[in-house]
Amino acid sequence: MTEFKHPEDGYVFIVTYGRSGSTLLQSLLNTIDGFQLRGENNNTLFHLYSAWAAVKDSVPLDGLRTKGEVTAPDHPWYGSEKIGLDSYGRDLARLFTQSVLQPDPGTRVSGFKEIRFHFHAAHFRPQLNFIHSFFPNSRFIFNTRSHADVVKSGWWAAQDPSKVTANLTMAEDLFKSYLATYPERGILMHYDDYTKDHSQLNDLFEFLGEPVDREAIEKTFSKRLDHAR
């Protein structure tokens, strides 16, 4: 069996909400040589994070780890002090990359875009911290769009506009709060800015440390996305 190795230049995760233009952004990033950002996976990674957090946040387990107590066969938490949080997290990240992302040979930056990170608001920051800890060189791109356009788009159009706006505002507050605490980990992009002025993408490419291929960018903008038809 080939030894697992993370992509040499790490991971990029697009964090956003539905109908924000994230598929376009995903397509733009996939024009970069060696980048392979997958689409949505129904927030699968949240459940792996939750499995890790179940161990990390358990008061009895934390107590056993902290005390270094060796449990006996008749202890209700027998053997749980042996659970290694770091190794467990690393194994979950490896499993996700191998089984879900499945980066092709030659991929130097892997990742995906997801519109569901904010569905579990209380876990938003801990989940991103989990990703940052166990997916080496992780970077987050937070993508937003004019609320007036989002509420008219796709499935949102059938919902109460005030509730949609409140949902989008909540998500963006989470994005901005995370960036305020960890500014080096991500960048905030606005769909309306970079679609009107393509040079607005320069900051994104600079953040990623990648050259700007203007021809590839313009070609991507000229292609209509299937799900937008």
- For 13-69, the pLDDT digits (tens) are 999 999 999 999 999 999 999 999 999 999 999 999 999 999 999 999 988 988 888
Average pLDDT for the chain: 94
What pLDDT does residue 42 have? 97
What pLDDT does residue 3 have? 86
Helix, strand, coil % (nearest 5) of the chain? 55, 10, 30
Name the residue with higher pLDDT: 2 or 189.
Answer: 189
Predicted confidence band at 229 (pLDDT cuts at 50, 70, 90)? very low
Give Cα 118 to chain centroid, integer Å: 11
What is the DSSP code string of 107-133? -SEEEEEES-GGGGGGGHHHHHHHHHH
- For 123-182, the pLDDT digits (tens) are 999 999 999 999 999 999 999 999 999 998 888 888 899 999 999 999 999 999 999 999
What pLDDT does residue 227 have? 54
Can you give the pTM of this predicted structure? 0.94
Torsion of CA 97, 103, 109, 114, to 10 degrees: -60
For the cut 80, the answer to whether the pLDDT of residue 226 exceeds it is no
For the cut 70, the answer to whether the pLDDT of residue 225 exceeds it is no
For the cut 50, the answer to whether the pLDDT of residue 195 exceeds it is yes
Torsion of CA 202, 43, 124, 119, to 10 degrees: 110
